[in-house]
């Protein structure tokens, strides 16, 4: 078994669990240790008794899964034909209700821009560790945060994942190295945001609201857009560790692409479904916690996780498209008025929600659960 060098790469990566200090470094550094054939015990996700070992029966088998993640044609949303538009809005509604996930096609973002973003992020993770550590940040609202696992100060078990998180709207933040990163990501973020804004108008209509209702209530003009690059190097024991545990996302809609290496699984009707992300030029979109709140629970954020492999590095790039940090999250006022329903969630400022989610453990939908209106849930 390979020796894990006890090397402190950066003071603030030293994490103590009271009894023994754990020297925390990127999983990329770990994975590159020659002949590493077991994972360090602090990555043993399933040794924790509350994390259930994924049994075969928890997965969809063969033909059992009749339909797959819905496909939404974005070009129909921008079509001049009102019938086409109302048809796709109905499809959006179904996809958000039945799946919470869909593949977005014909969105107009060129494959070239996606590949450039993946290449530039790969370049970032391949820089020397000390260069990346310049961008280490611990506060959830820091513009740039390079790190590992999810929240090393709180994680009981570490996740086999390094990340780069950037606030890209309302202000654009990006490392200055590697050189091409900021130009590529600025362009890519803007395009994603344009698509997200248009899509959110459709979602607003799909809830029976005016097209610009969500934009007004959640101050989307100054909406918080968080870019996340996830780096999952090969893991010597992929069945014992996890890249990201089951969780839902904050924000309204998340956009995700990857480098064509499978690993994302979503929970659908109580079972896990591996997602094929090789549909050319498609973006995987999922409902986030704030859309669940805004829709008063009609559209639910869905649990998903990232599993590992022992052969190739997987890189995924996501955008959490959210309300303004200053906006108060609550079920849409008009929705509550017109449906005569009781708000199922208590109100909270998005900034506070984000802080709550990012400074705790990443654990299923625990953060959203805390907002549920106890009087009716
Ligand atoms: O890497 C993936 O496929 C999922 C990443 C993810 O769920 C996230 O960044 O929130
Ligand atoms: Fe996620």
83 or 24: which leads in pLDDT: 83
Decide whether any atom of ligand 1 lies within 6 Å of the 277 Cβ. no
Decide whether any atom of ligand 1 lies within 6 Å of the 207 Cβ. no
Q: Report residue 258: phi and psi, to 5°.
A: -145, -175
- Rounded distance between C-alpha atoms, residue 376 and residue 344, angstroms: 7
For 51-89, the DSSP string reads S----GGGB--GGG--S-S-EEEHHHHT-S-HHHHHHHH
pLDDT of residue 321: 98
Tell me the residue length of the chain. 377
Decide whether any atom of ligand 1 lies within 6 Å of the 301 Cβ. no
- 208 CA distance to ligand 1 centroid (A)? 30
Percent of the chain with pLDDT over 70: 90
Residues 6+ apart with CB under 8 A from 213: 204, 332, 334
Tracing tokens 């070992």 back to the chain, one arrives at 53
Mean pLDDT, to the nearest integer, of 259-265?
Answer: 96
Decide whether any atom of ligand 1 lies within 6 Å of the 306 Cβ. yes
Q: Is the pLDDT of residue 155 over 60?
A: yes
Decide whether any atom of ligand 1 lies within 6 Å of the 230 Cβ. yes
- Average pLDDT taken over every residue of the chain: 89
From atom 3 of ligand 1, which residue's Cα is the shortest distance away?
264
- Rounded distance between C-alpha atoms, residue 202 and residue 275, angstroms: 24
Q: Is the pLDDT of residue 5 over 60?
A: no
Decide whether any atom of ligand 1 lies within 6 Å of the 264 Cβ. yes
- 266 CA distance to ligand 2 centroid (A)? 10
Highest mean pLDDT among 19-23, 99-103, 156-160, 266-270: 99-103
- Rounded distance between C-alpha atoms, residue 306 and residue 160, angstroms: 10
315, 232 in Cβ contact below 8 A? Answer: yes
Q: Report residue 21: phi and psi, to 5°.
A: -75, 140
Q: Six-digit token pair at 192?
A: 């994603």
pLDDT of residue 309: 97
Asked whether the bond before 170 is cis by omega within 30 degrees of 0, the reply is yes
Ligand closest to Cα of 257 equals 1
| CA angle, residues 252, 136, 255, in degrees to nearest 5 | 25
Q: Is the pLDDT of residue 15 over 70?
A: no
End-to-end Cα spacing for the chain: 51
Does an H or E element contain 258, and which? strand 253-258
Decide whether any atom of ligand 1 lies within 6 Å of the 246 Cβ. no
Mean pLDDT, to the nearest integer, of 210-215?
Answer: 97
Q: Six-digit token pair at 141?
A: 């609202």
Q: Is the pLDDT of residue 16 over 80?
A: no
Q: Where does the pLDDT of residue 3 fall: very low under 50, low under 70, confident under 90, or very high at 90 and above?
A: very low
pLDDT of residue 152: 83
Q: Where does the pLDDT of residue 64 fall: very low under 50, low under 70, confident under 90, or very high at 90 and above?
A: low
- Rounded distance between C-alpha atoms, residue 20 and residue 2, angstroms: 21
Tracing tokens 């609202």 back to the chain, one arrives at 141
Regarding beta strands 314-321 and 271-274, do their DSSP bridges make them parallel or antiparallel, or are they unpaired? unpaired
Q: Is the pLDDT of residue 21 over 50?
A: no
Ligand closest to Cα of 228 equals 1
Q: Is the pLDDT of residue 299 over 70?
A: yes
The preferred substitution site among 228, 232, 244 for testing ligand 1, maximizing ligand atoms within 8 Å of CB, is 244
**Given 3-state DSSP classes, what are the helix, strand and coil percentages for the chain, each rounded to the nearest 5?**
30, 20, 45
Q: Six-digit token pair at 159?
A: 């996740």
- 97 CA distance to ligand 2 centroid (A)? 18
- 83 CA distance to ligand 1 centroid (A)? 35
Tracing tokens 């945001």 back to the chain, one arrives at 193
65-69, 120-124, 354-358 — which is least confidently predicted? 65-69
249 or 153: which leads in pLDDT: 249
Decide whether any atom of ligand 1 lies within 6 Å of the 316 Cβ. yes
* Ligand 1 atom with minimal separation from the 232 CA: 1
Q: Where does the pLDDT of residue 278 fall: very low under 50, low under 70, confident under 90, or very high at 90 and above?
A: confident
Q: Where does the pLDDT of residue 356 fall: very low under 50, low under 70, confident under 90, or very high at 90 and above?
A: confident
Percent of the chain with pLDDT over 90: 74
| Alpha-carbon dihedral 345, 348, 350, 353, rounded to 10 degrees | -80
Decide whether any atom of ligand 1 lies within 6 Å of the 304 Cβ. yes
Q: Where does the pLDDT of residue 11 fall: very low under 50, low under 70, confident under 90, or very high at 90 and above?
A: very low
Decide whether any atom of ligand 1 lies within 6 Å of the 249 Cβ. yes
From atom 10 of ligand 1, which residue's Cα is the shortest distance away?
249
pLDDT of residue 52: 74
pLDDT of residue 291: 98
| Alpha-carbon dihedral 223, 371, 157, 164, rounded to 10 degrees | 0
Ligand closest to Cα of 302 equals 2
Decide whether any atom of ligand 1 lies within 6 Å of the 238 Cβ. no
Q: Where does the pLDDT of residue 66 fall: very low under 50, low under 70, confident under 90, or very high at 90 and above?
A: low
Mean pLDDT, to the nearest integer, of 128-139?
Answer: 90
Decide whether any atom of ligand 1 lies within 6 Å of the 244 Cβ. yes
- 304 CA distance to ligand 2 centroid (A)? 6
pLDDT of residue 211: 96
The preferred substitution site among 266, 277, 304 for testing ligand 1, maximizing ligand atoms within 8 Å of CB, is 304
pLDDT of residue 65: 64
Strands (E), 259-343: 264-268, 271-274, 283-287, 304-306, 314-321, 328-329
């Amino acid at each position: 078994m390979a020796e894990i060098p006890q090397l402190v790469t950066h003071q603030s990566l030293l994490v103590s669990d009271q009894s023994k200090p754990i020297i925390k470094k990127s999983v990329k550094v770990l994975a590159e240790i020659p002949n590493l054939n077991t994972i360090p015990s602090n990555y043993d996700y399933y040794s924790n008794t509350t994390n259930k070992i994924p049994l075969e029966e928890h997965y969809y088998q063969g033909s059992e899964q009749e339909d797959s993640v819905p496909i939404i044609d974005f070009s129909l949303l921008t079509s001049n034909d009102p019938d086409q538009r109302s048809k796709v809005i109905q499809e959006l509604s179904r996809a958000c209700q039945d799946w919470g996930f869909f593949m977005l096609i014909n969105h107009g973002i060129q494959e070239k821009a996606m590949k450039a973003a993946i290449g530039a992020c790969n370049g970032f993770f391949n820089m020397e560790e000390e260069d990346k550590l310049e961008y280490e940040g611990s506060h959830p609202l820091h513009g740039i945060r390079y790190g590992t696992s999810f929240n090393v100060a709180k994680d009981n078990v570490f996740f086999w994942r390094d990340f780069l998180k950037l606030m890209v709207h309302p202000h654009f933040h990006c490392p200055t190295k590697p050189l091409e990163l900021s130009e590529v990501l600025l362009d890519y973020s803007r395009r994603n945001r344009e698509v997200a804004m248009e899509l959110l108008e459709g979602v607003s209509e799909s809830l029976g609201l005016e097209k610009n209702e969500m934009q007004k209530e959640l101050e989307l003009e100054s909406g918080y857009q968080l870019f996340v690059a996830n780096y999952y190097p090969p893991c010597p024991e992929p069945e014992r560790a996890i890249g990201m545990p089951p969780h839902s996302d904050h924000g309204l809609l998340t956009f995700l692409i990857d480098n064509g290496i499978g690993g994302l699984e979503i929970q659908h009707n109580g079972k896990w479904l591996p997602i094929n992300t090789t549909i050319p030029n498609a973006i995987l979109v999922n409902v986030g916690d704030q859309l669940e709140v805004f829709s008063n629970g009609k559209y639910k954020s869905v649990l998903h996780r990232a599993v590992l492999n022992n052969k190739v590095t997987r890189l995924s790039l996501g955008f959490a498209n959210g309300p303004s940090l200053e906006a108060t999250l609550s079920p849409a006022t008009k929705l509550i008025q017109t449906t005569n329903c009781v708000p199922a969630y208590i109100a909270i400022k998005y900034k506070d929600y984000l802080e709550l989610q990012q400074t705790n453990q990443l654990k299923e939908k625990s953060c959203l659960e805390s907002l549920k209106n106890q009087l009716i849930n």
